[in-house]
Amino acid sequence: MLPFKLVYSDDYYLPIGSHVFPAEKYQRIHERLLESGVADAKDFVSPQPASDEDILLVHTPQYVHKLKTGTLSAREELEMEIPYSPELVRAFWLAAGGSILAADYALNDRVAFNIGGGFHHAFPDHGEGFCMIHDVAVAIRRLQRDDQIRTAMTVDCDVHQGNGTAAIFAGTRTESVPLPSASHSTLSPSAAAKTGAPQGKMRGAHAGDVFTISLHQHNNYPMFKPPSSIDVDLPDGTGDADYLAWLDNALSSGLRQFEPDLLCYVAGADPYREDKLGGLDLTIEGLKKRDELVFRVARARDIPVMVTYAGGYARNVEDTVTIHSNTVIAAKEVFSPRS
């Protein structure tokens, strides 16, 4: 039995037909975790859908109304890049409920997973990039409303920048929080310097009650990247060593400036070298080291971690399932009482 909970429902399946997003991945991860003995049935808990009130903590009444009445414009549906249906709306409300539940469990158990979610391209007033509802933002706002947390940090390791996250939490920024150092020379990871690999770029901005970190491929969707508190713009083909050095650097820099009550880890599988929508060069082993790094840092500072899965478009879907399952294994290794 795991020392933490996995929030999951068969109804996480997204009814989007034949699509580059492997909507069946959630069921496959669930099966893999059980078949491999990593988890047993008692480790899983079922979510309830978020309430409309929860969703409205992040999204505009106009947008929610359009979703509930099926009145998105053709352009809005196109921008979402997944076909609208009432069933799809239900799946996203459920994913948001799952992230709320996982965040709640994380506060008690130090870590918890939503075996879904991570829809970081959803904005308050529209969806895009396969994302209708920003489940992570809904979870943060709900826990804040209930006074369970005051502050949160998002650590987004999907290959695509967390534009929705950045936009949602930008409005909460205040002038009282100092800017991070803008000196790239002090922020450059030594690994990149040693190998002479192309340098990524780290950009900083103010943070309010939610500090947002995004590590992503610079030359990829979204074209326009609204500023996160820290953005790490990685060059094409970044491999394991440089990626891990940048992540370490971003986490250290973020945690020097900000003390979160909850860390929301968006563990996208698409920085993988075999990804159809990504252009980074991480291996399956490198991605597991990434997960371990996030968990070790959180554990050392006693910050609860809520995990969501976001994207993953490996040529072989089994690789995506392996990468996501490995995130649970990494948490098990880092958070088991013996370690």
Which stretches of the chain bind Zn ion, using CB under 5 A?
A: 158, 160, 268, 270, 311
> Residue 118 or 260: which CB sits closer to Zn ion?
118
Least Å distance between CB 313 and Zn ion? 8
3-class secondary structure, 289: helix
Residue 211, beta-bridge partner list: 153
Q: Give the integer Cα–Cα distance in Å for 40 and 339.
A: 21
Q: Give the integer Cα–Cα distance in Å for 145 and 130.
A: 27
> Residue 142 or 160: which CB sits closer to Zn ion?
160
> Residue 297 or 314: which CB sits closer to Zn ion?
314
Least Å distance between CB 118 and Zn ion? 9
Least Å distance between CB 165 and Zn ion? 12
Q: Give the integer Cα–Cα distance in Å for 207 and 78.
A: 32
Least Å distance between CB 309 and Zn ion? 10
3-class secondary structure, 337: coil
> Residue 54 or 270: which CB sits closer to Zn ion?
270
> Residue 81 or 109: which CB sits closer to Zn ion?
81
Least Å distance between CB 311 and Zn ion? 3
Report the half-sphere exposure of 20 (CA within 13 A, side-chain side): 13
3-class secondary structure, 99: helix
Least Å distance between CB 7 and Zn ion? 21
Query: Phi-psi region for residue 118, left (φ > 0), alpha (ψ -120 to 50) or beta?
Result: left
- Whether 275 and 268 have beta carbons less than 8 Å apart is answered as no
> Residue 2 or 250: which CB sits closer to Zn ion?
250
- The C-alpha R_g of the chain, in whole angstroms, comes to 18
3-class secondary structure, 272: strand
- SS3 assignment for 86-153: HHHHHHHHHHHHHHHHHHHHHHHHCEEEECCCCCCCCCCCCCECCECCCHHHHHHHHHHHCCCCCCEE
Location of structure tokens 């994207």: 311
> Residue 43 or 270: which CB sits closer to Zn ion?
270
Least Å distance between CB 16 and Zn ion? 15
